[in-house]
Structure 1
Amino acid sequence: MLMTVEIRRGTARFTERDVGRATRHAFSFGADYDPARISFGPMICHDEHLLGAGRGFDAHRHAGLDIVTWVVSGALTHADSLDGSSGGSHTLVPGEVGHLHAGAGVEHSEIAAAPQTRFVQVWLRSDDDSEPSYDVHAVSPGPLTEALTVGGSTLWVSRLAAGESVTLPEAGPLHVYVASGALLRNSLAEPLAAGDALLVADGTGPLSVTAAIDTELLSWRLSAADQTT
């Protein structure tokens, strides 16, 4: 089966700005509605945030989502309305992935704890209305490290040196995001820069990519239960 591949450039994302904050949205969000950019499988939000010290998002409520956060640089303090070991407060730093299962509903806040913090956040639709929870997972450096599985979707983190190649997980839907660095041209795609994404809608063949410079990739193999929109 042939792969269906699309490149989504970071420069084409809808950018929302406020004092001390810039957010680039990959999918329709708020006042920006694009019927061709509603979701990709269960992924309904893939945002890149840049925050100044003490800036961020005050307490707000979510339900019916799994929210996954990866800090590229700086530090981000998460606080929530949960009690005990399932929640509270934690400052995420590079090398950690935070997972908030919103379940039936939870409040949380996210505030930068460094002079400048850049992080990527993904929202996945969830029908699991169990008790909300928050977990943090440390991710070991490597060319393809499984960081987290949420429902039927799995996140891999790749840290590649210049010239190093990696074969990404097979089958689709597959969402590959260049968090930092750049990828060389390959048989399926033009070169990719930081902020760009490669979306593979279907196909079962392996996809190999090569770093042009030191590069960090966030690759989601998404549940096929939800169709691409």
Structure 2
Amino acid sequence: MIDVRRSGDRYRGGEAAAGIESFHAFSFGPHYDPDNLRFGAILACNEERLAPGAGFDEHPHSHTEIVTWVVEGELTHRDSTGRESLVRPGDVQHLSAAGGVRHVERNDGQAPLVFIQMWLAPLAPGGDPSYAVIHGIADSTPYEIPGAGALLHTRRLTPDERTALPDSPFVYVHVVRGEIRLREERLTAGDSARITAETGVEAVAVGDASAELLVWEMAGE
């Protein structure tokens, strides 16, 4: 089954007065939908838009694998393990909250910041928090989240280029930019697809512009 979810159907959140806009693909905070709590290991897929100087003050996380992909701008990250980093487009940031960690996320730059943040459920609770940034990850290079039993594939497709999606029990596709076709469905930026127990599915970039995709390969819940 291929279940397409449109960008316009995401739950809206954030705090406009503080320069924060949020768009949630799953139940999140006050937006509760018992039929939309997770898909595979994924608990959240949030698009965050921060104005210059805006950000999320120090807050806690636990028992969550948090992966962040910057679309435009620069994300400043600091956490209670003492790490501080600047995350830019093309970087994969991974924070394993494990038994508990606190962090700050801000736009300290002069330009608007847009990033996609995805939360995954761990296979087992507890442990020590860890943090990593892969700068400029190469196209088609998978990034493994062993604590969640998941692989992230980042794909950048030129017009008419196609890529085979994993033949896995659960596959989640998020269109970062551009337009793609999944069988008879066309998806644009912000759209996503939840693919369950399908094989031989391809994503094809359509239109005159390149497409950028985040593809999660998951064994199950």
How far apart are the structure 2 equivalents of 1:125 and 1:59?
A: 21
8 Å CA contact 1:66–1:150 kept in 2: the answer is no
8 Å CA contact 2:176–2:190 kept in 1: the answer is yes
How far apart are the structure 2 equivalents of 1:173 and 1:26?
A: 16
- Equivalenced residues, count: 214
1:139 shift after superposition: 4.1
Q: Deviations over 1:79-114 (max 9, x none)?
A: 00004xxxx100100111111111110000100133
Greater mean deviation of Cα atoms: 206-215 or 69-78: 206-215
How far apart are the structure 2 equivalents of 1:56 and 1:45?
A: 19
- The amino acid that maps onto 1:211 is A
Residue 146 in 1 paired to residue 145 in 2?
A: no
- The amino acid that maps onto 2:92 is V
1:150 shift after superposition: 3.4
8 Å CA contact 1:74–1:113 kept in 2: the answer is no
**Which residue number in structure 2 is paired with residue 112 of structure 1?**
107
How far apart are the structure 1 equivalents of 2:58 and 2:14?
A: 19
1:102 alignment partner, one of 86, 97, 101: 97
1:124 alignment partner, one of 111, 120, 123: 120
How far apart are the structure 2 equivalents of 1:122 and 1:194?
A: 16
- The amino acid that maps onto 2:210 is D
Give the TM-score taking structure 2 as reference length: 0.92
How far apart are the structure 1 equivalents of 2:218 and 2:97?
A: 19
**Which residue number in structure 1 is paired with residue 196 of structure 2?**
201
1:145 alignment partner, SS class: coil
- The amino acid that maps onto 2:131 is Y
**Which residue number in structure 2 is paired with residue 220 of structure 1?**
216
How far apart are the structure 2 equivalents of 1:103 and 1:146?
A: 22
1:141 shift after superposition: 3.9
- The amino acid that maps onto 2:98 is G
Residue 210 in 1 paired to residue 204 in 2?
A: yes
8 Å CA contact 2:92–2:137 kept in 1: the answer is no
How far apart are the structure 2 equivalents of 1:149 and 1:132?
A: 13
Q: Unaligned stretches of 5+ in structure 1?
A: none
Q: Unaligned stretches of 5+ in structure 2?
A: none
1:58 shift after superposition: 0.5
Q: Deviations over 1:28-60 (max 9, x none)?
A: 111111111110012111100111112111100
8 Å CA contact 1:22–1:50 kept in 2: the answer is yes
Greater mean deviation of Cα atoms: 162-171 or 70-79: 162-171
1:192 shift after superposition: 0.3
| Superposition misfits of 4+ residues, deviation over 6 angstroms | none
- The amino acid that maps onto 2:216 is W
**Which residue number in structure 2 is paired with residue 70 of structure 1?**
69
- The amino acid that maps onto 1:7 is V
Residue 134 in 1 paired to residue 137 in 2?
A: no
**Which residue number in structure 1 is paired with residue 180 of structure 2?**
183
How far apart are the structure 2 equivalents of 1:33 and 1:46?
A: 14
Percent identical residues: 35
1:170 shift after superposition: 1.6
8 Å CA contact 1:103–1:128 kept in 2: the answer is yes
1:11 alignment partner, SS class: helix
Give the TM-score taking structure 1 as reference length: 0.89
